[in-house]
Amino acid sequence: MNDVLDLLASQPLLLLFGLLGAGAAIGHLKVRGVGLGAAAVLFLALGVGALGAANGVEVHVPEAFGVLGLTLFTFTVGIVSGASFFASLRKSLGLVAAMVGVLGLGALVAVGLGRVLGLDPATVAGAFAGAVTNTPALAAAREAAGDANAPTVAYAVTYVFGVLGMLVVAQLVLRGRAHDTDAPKPLVNRTVRVEVDGEPVLRDLLARHEGRITFTRLRRGEDAPIEAAVLDAALHPGDMVTVVGEEDAVDAVTAELGHTSTHLLQADRRYLDMRRITVSNPAVAGLTIGEIELTRRFGATISRLRRGDVDVVASDELRIQPGDRVRVIAPRDAMGAVSKFFGDSSRGFSDINPVVLGLGMAAGLLLGLVSVPVLGASFTVGAAMGTLLVGLVLGRVGRLGRVVTVMPFTAAQAISELGLLLFLAQAGTTAGGRIEQAFASGQWVRVAVLGVAVTATVGLVLWFVMRRLFHVGGTSLSGIVAGTQTQPAVLAFANGRTGFDPRVALGYALVYPAAMIAKIVLGQVLGALS
């Protein structure tokens, strides 16, 4: 056994990829339909690190791999979520404040129960940091307490349940995802015969229905040619127009204009054709649908856009990303030119955009070095938060001049998953190496009880508050649980259970920055009680 451990200790790359492969294989195993997914890498790494420590061999993945993995993960989460994050944040300040309040409640439980159990403040601070699985909070607690050992040992004892407990909460949350009311609704198209007077303008109708619909085809009378719907067009009685959108919104505009026609304009391809086209032209990526002026250029319109596995209504404000698939309605003789305009190459799915990846990561790492004053002390923003914030901004901007600041959804997801696995392998071996020291402490049972109480309080109260007060669906809530815990393993589990539903990443990114800051502050406060 020692020979194997010695080999792994001397060959960190062998150790790393062995953990990735074996852990991923274990993660695919399911019991009653439930598997650990990528989180299995963490627990396998914990076991290997602990086994090495028990045999006097330091088996661990170098820290640099963990930092690389974590920052790749947070940066790509930001890139993917940036387009919708800021719009969601404006509507969710109350939700974020409630999440911070739940973490504060967890800190109060730690202080109160810690006194009952007879634990010193430094140990309580470290146990809290482990229970919420946040290393920067541990660093803040150690500095404030002036004690590096006690908080670290307590952190190691509570960290494992901090992960396991939140995995259980995520599983409970996801049981109710079938009843989510915030799930993207399937899009329908319908030909509507206009019966109202007043010459309603398509652009005004779009504004009235807040971008939940779009118009694609228009026919003036029974026998007129079908043309692409121009938003400045006014409708007259007898016109037929194709409406695309969520069914309730389409029902509403149908009732407003007239009735459903027996004619199906989309079925008549004598004048207009329809095609799904992959966006791979960098000149188009990062622009909004309104900015590309497809109607002026080709007499064409976009009815919907598919990103990942989700279709969304094509509004003028929607920003196009590489790898998106747009459904285009265009004159038959113009469809070839439209395909060339968008690129329509599989490269749109796989281009990692190395310029933005490199410079964006560098900017995030530099931002992570910035010191922030907290309660008389200074703490760095941290590489994870720095890269997340830069990723969110780049994902929101879309392009700077000729430079596209986003990357294809599929490429970002692949980089994100690789980064996550790297981080989990490194974090697991490091924590596993400390477990023996932690359990050698005579008070480890009391510390473990405290950690379980804090993790359970944060997880269950968060679940209750988000469901009952904010009516968050199970899918989004699983991402919020992972972001509140600042725990990539929980996010990986939720992604695996939902097929990488974008609501999971959005929930994670929505609360992660505030959760990180709150935990650092709380760790500092708890440590200062020593």
Domains and CATH numbers, the chain: 2-180+360-528 (1.20.1530), 187-345 (3.30.70.1450)
d(CA 344, CA 337): 11
Q: pLDDT category, 221, cuts 50, 70, 90?
A: confident
Q: pLDDT category, 374, cuts 50, 70, 90?
A: low
The predicted structure's pLDDT at residue 465: 95
Q: Tell me: the pLDDT tens digits for 387-411?
A: 888 988 998 888 888 888 888 888 8
33, with CB counted inside 10 A (0-12, 13-18, 19+), is: exposed
d(CA 525, CA 306): 46
Least confident of 25-29, 171-175, 248-252: 25-29
Q: Residue 91 pLDDT more than 70? A: yes
Q: Tell me: the pLDDT tens digits for 142-163?
A: 767 777 567 877 887 888 789 8
The predicted structure's pLDDT at residue 24: 84
Q: Residue 327 pLDDT more than 70? A: yes
Find the mean pLDDT for residues 482-511.
85
Phi, psi of 523 (to 5 degrees): -60, -40
d(CA 154, CA 446): 10
The predicted structure's pLDDT at residue 377: 62
Structure tokens, 337: 């030119």
- Compare 406 and 351 and report the one with higher pLDDT: 406
Q: In what order do the strands lie in the sheet with 187-194?
A: 226-228, 213-219, 240-246, 187-194, 258-260
Helix or strand run (H / E) with residue 167: helix 149-174
SS3 86: helix
Q: Which residues contact 112 (CB under 8 A, 6 or more apart)?
A: none
Angle between helices 502-528 and 121-131 (to 10 degrees): 180
Q: pLDDT category, 376, cuts 50, 70, 90?
A: low
Question: How does the average pLDDT of the chain come out, rounded?
Answer: 85
b/e sequence 418-431, b meaning 16+ C-beta within 10 Å: bbbbbbbbbbbbbb
| Most confident of the following: 118-132, 297-311, 417-431, 512-526 | 118-132
Q: Residue 33 pLDDT more than 60? A: no
Q: Tell me: the pLDDT tens digits for 429-468?
A: 887 777 776 676 678 889 999 999 999 999 999 999 999 9
Give me the amino acid identity at 260.
T
Q: Residue 207 pLDDT more than 80? A: yes
Helix or strand run (H / E) with residue 259: strand 258-260
SS3 196: coil
Find the mean pLDDT for residues 319-345.
89
The predicted structure's pLDDT at residue 358: 93
The predicted structure's pLDDT at residue 346: 75
pTM: 0.70
d(CA 95, CA 93): 5
The predicted structure's pLDDT at residue 348: 66
The predicted structure's pLDDT at residue 363: 94
The percent of residues above 90 in pLDDT, for the chain, comes to 26
Q: pLDDT category, 360, cuts 50, 70, 90?
A: very high
- Compare 230 and 101 and report the one with higher pLDDT: 101
Find the mean pLDDT for residues 475-490.
90
Q: Residue 295 pLDDT more than 70? A: yes
Find the mean pLDDT for residues 253-281.
88
Q: Residue 183 pLDDT more than 80? A: no
Phi, psi of 401 (to 5 degrees): 65, -120
Q: Residue 384 pLDDT more than 80? A: no
Find the mean pLDDT for residues 184-213.
86
Q: pLDDT category, 481, cuts 50, 70, 90?
A: very high
Q: Residue 478 pLDDT more than 90? A: yes
Give me the amino acid identity at 161.
F
Q: Residue 361 pLDDT more than 90? A: yes
The predicted structure's pLDDT at residue 338: 92
Cβ atoms within 10 A of the Cβ of 400, count?
Answer: 11
Find the mean pLDDT for residues 272-282.
88
Q: What is the dihedral of CA 61, 62, 65, 66, to 10 degrees?
A: 80
d(CA 322, CA 277): 11
Q: Residue 116 pLDDT more than 90? A: yes
